[in-house]
Amino acid sequence: MKAIEVREQVRLPLGRCLELVLSGLKYRLFRAAITVTIIALAGAFLMVMLTDGFTARQVAKTVAERIAPRETFRFWVARISLPLMPLQLADELASAKPGQVAWEEFAAWGRLSAEDLNRLTEAARRHHKYLAYFQNLGEGQRRGLVGAVTDEALFADLADPAKFAAFREALKTSTQQFPTSVEEFQQFLKDWQAAEPTRQKILAGDAAAVEQVKAKFLTGAQTPQALLAKADQNLLDTLTSLGFHIPADILPLLREQATWNLDGKTLISLYVGPAANQTGADLIGAGEGDNGGAETSEEPGNAPKAEAEAGPTRKGVVLVKNLLATRLDVNVTKLNDQMLYHYLTSAEGAKWFVDATACDKKLGLSAKRVQQVAAYVVNESHLEDVKNNVSQVAGSEGLLGFNNRTISLILVSFLVCIVGIANAMLMSVTERFREIATMKCLGATDGFIMINFILESVMQGVAGGAIGVALGFLLGSLRAWSSYGLLALGSLPLWPIVAAAGVALVVSILISAMAAVYPAWVAARLAPMEAMRIE
């Protein structure tokens, strides 16, 4: 019996296959549209996540840059006016390096050699690691391990042998992996306890220095902010002699930030007044007498002049408040700082405010300055908000900066997408049984049928992916805009977004190809005699 000699059987060029598939897709446009929609949704989801992540990181960087001067200022205000707390010290020690400001300060206060300080910072780093472990535990787990002890007392408490034995037992049943061996931890506890006196010495040195600053400069109503507003080389030298190593090059920064801060305080003091804790009801009660004047907001001079000399007064504050309420057309009890500041960021609002408080000689700010200060304060609160928002997204490490939850969400969305596409393709195969079988009767091989279906899905993947990328970019930017405001628009990074679009597109195509494998196999396996079947 001779066998068949197979020559050029079904090697359709890709272009012809694509043509066939395209005309088929055009014929079944509605079903294709459904599949494309599924892919587009999954692609859009991935794209939103990617855009969001990239934007968040970019925003985080921008915010960090913009907020840095304020943080430096705040740090030095706290440093010269408040003594260090033990945990704060441990924290700073953990990140201290030779040559840095903090290093010098600690060395001066504790009168420590570089070697001692080295040992101390090394222990502090271990302290940081262990503390992070305990802080990340759930409350119940932590209670089970070490009882109800604060972070501060935690390690001193565990140094007690009885307590440590109990901890050691409890740790055996803990589900959270302890960062090191228990023996190492025990050694650390010993070291940490041994270093306690050294730390106390630093704390005492710092406290003494702060006391001296207080005695020398912060007498009466003088605040550290006001002190830094007038900081000069003299002050710097004095502070250096006390152990505060303020770098000379940040002096202009400190002065500028201090001025913003002080002007901001002046503004709010005219609004809240010296009795900051009085309730709205008090204010309304007190303000009733001035209502006549308050109604005619064009005459702010109604406020008693005698009191104006003594700084922002209760009556003056009430007046400003009432005027503002009238101006903004809200109930005076509902007024808040945000509303005041936002109003003041407009040129009109700033001018009104200067006029309204003209009685008050203390203000001494031009309308323009009021506007700037208000903008500074509004911007600050905005930056703080964004920083809190963004830290949740951008702070996470891992694959593409996604945390595990996001990754699993994305994977689940892909899975759902694959199942959806596979289902749609299976239906498509089922309703084309006869067509497929006929094709096989006409000489189509299993491979051709399979490639045909996978190509079909891939083409849907291309369409769906493109739509998804566009949609996802749009949604992602909208989302970034809504959570970070205008900052987001300037922070949309071009190349990462392009890369994200590429990734989303490729992934869409891949998952549609993967989803089509099973339906295509079902189609390829179909017996050609199905073509004879009559429904």
Partner 1 sequence: MSEPPTVKTPPVAGASAGQPKVERPVIIRTRKLKKSYRMGEVTTEALRGVDVEIYRGEFICVMGPSGSGKSTFFNMVGGLDSPTSGRVFIDEVDVAQLNAIELAFLRCRKIGYIFQTYNLVQYMTCLENVTVPMAFAGVNSDEARERGMGLLDLVGLKDRWFHKPIEMSGGQQQRTAIARSMANRPAILLCDEPTGNLDLKTGAEIHQILKKLNKERGVTIICATHDHRLIDMADRIMWIRDGQVERLAERSDVTVETGAIGGTEHE
C-alpha 484: how far from its chain's center? Answer: 9
| 138: amino acid identity, one letter | G
- How far apart CA 317 and CA 306 sit, in angstroms, is 15
Among 12, 250, 409, 462, binds partner 1 (CB under 8 A): 12
Question: Where does this chain touch partner 1 (CB under 8 A) — which range of 23-31, 244-252, 340-348, 463-471?
Answer: 23-31
Q: Which is nearer to partner 1, 122 or 530 (CB)?
A: 530
| 103: amino acid identity, one letter | W
By CB under 8 A, is residue 6 in contact with partner 1?
A: yes
Among 182, 275, 415, 532, binds partner 1 (CB under 8 A): 532
170-189 binders of partner 1 (CB under 8 A): none
By CB under 8 A, is residue 494 in contact with partner 1?
A: no
- How far apart CA 408 and CA 426 sit, in angstroms, is 26
Q: Which is nearer to partner 1, 230 or 525 (CB)?
A: 525
Q: Which is nearer to partner 1, 7 or 405 (CB)?
A: 7
Question: Considering the complex, what minimum distance in angstroms separates the CB of residue 179 from partner 1?
Answer: 60
By CB under 8 A, is residue 534 in contact with partner 1?
A: yes
**What are the residues whose beta carbons fall under 8 Å from the beta carbon of 528, sequence distance 6 or more?**
437, 440, 441
| Residue 360 in tokens | 């008050």
Question: Considering the complex, what minimum distance in angstroms separates the CB of residue 520 from partner 1?
Answer: 15
Question: Where does this chain touch partner 1 (CB under 8 A) — which range of 47-55, 269-277, 382-390, 522-530?
Answer: 522-530
Question: Considering the complex, what minimum distance in angstroms separates the CB of residue 528 from partner 1?
Answer: 5
The dihedral of CA 360, 365, 366, 369: what is its sign?
Answer: negative
Total site size for partner 1, rule CB under 8 A: 35
Place of tokens 């990239």: 54
By CB under 8 A, is residue 14 in contact with partner 1?
A: no
Question: Considering the complex, what minimum distance in angstroms separates the CB of residue 51 from partner 1?
Answer: 38
By CB under 8 A, is residue 10 in contact with partner 1?
A: yes
DSSP string, 481-503: HHHHTHHHHHH--HHHHHHHHHH
Quick one: three-class SS letters along 9-74? CCCCCHHHHHHHHHHHHHHCHHHHHHHHHHHHHHHHHHHHHHHHHHHHHHHHHHHHHHHHHHHHHH
| 258: amino acid identity, one letter | A
| 39: amino acid identity, one letter | I
Question: Considering the complex, what minimum distance in angstroms separates the CB of residue 46 from partner 1?
Answer: 32
Question: Considering the complex, what minimum distance in angstroms separates the CB of residue 37 from partner 1?
Answer: 21
Burial 133-160, CB ≥16 within 10 A → b, else e: bbeeeeeeebeebbeebeeeebbebbbe
- How far apart CA 228 and CA 80 sit, in angstroms, is 10
Residues 59 and 488: beta-carbon distance below 8 Å:
yes
The DSSP code for 82 is: S
Question: Considering the complex, what minimum distance in angstroms separates the CB of residue 433 from partner 1?
Answer: 11
Question: Considering the complex, what minimum distance in angstroms separates the CB of residue 526 from partner 1?
Answer: 11
Burial 408-422, CB ≥16 within 10 A → b, else e: eebeebbeebbebbb
393-412 binders of partner 1 (CB under 8 A): none
413-472 binders of partner 1 (CB under 8 A): 434-435, 438-446, 448
Q: Which is nearer to partner 1, 306 or 534 (CB)?
A: 534
Q: How far is CA 234 from CA 74, 240, 257, in A?
A: 21, 10, 19
Question: Contact letters (x/-) for partner 1, 322-341, by CB under 8 A?
Answer: --------------------
* Of 199, 195, 193, nearest in space to 154 by CA: 193
Question: Considering the complex, what minimum distance in angstroms separates the CB of residue 13 from partner 1?
Answer: 10
- How far apart CA 187 and CA 83 sit, in angstroms, is 30
Q: Which is nearer to partner 1, 194 or 527 (CB)?
A: 527
Question: Considering the complex, what minimum distance in angstroms separates the CB of residue 388 from partner 1?
Answer: 57
Q: Which is nearer to partner 1, 12 or 251 (CB)?
A: 12
Question: Where does this chain touch partner 1 (CB under 8 A) — which range of 19-27, 242-250, 273-281, 464-472?
Answer: 19-27
Q: Which is nearer to partner 1, 194 or 442 (CB)?
A: 442
Residues 488 and 481: beta-carbon distance below 8 Å:
yes
Question: Considering the complex, what minimum distance in angstroms separates the CB of residue 9 from partner 1?
Answer: 5
Question: Contact letters (x/-) for partner 1, 28-67, by CB under 8 A?
Answer: x---------------------------------------
Residues that bind partner 1 (CB under 8 A): 1-4, 6-12, 16, 23-24, 26-28, 434-435, 438-446, 448, 527-529, 531-532, 534
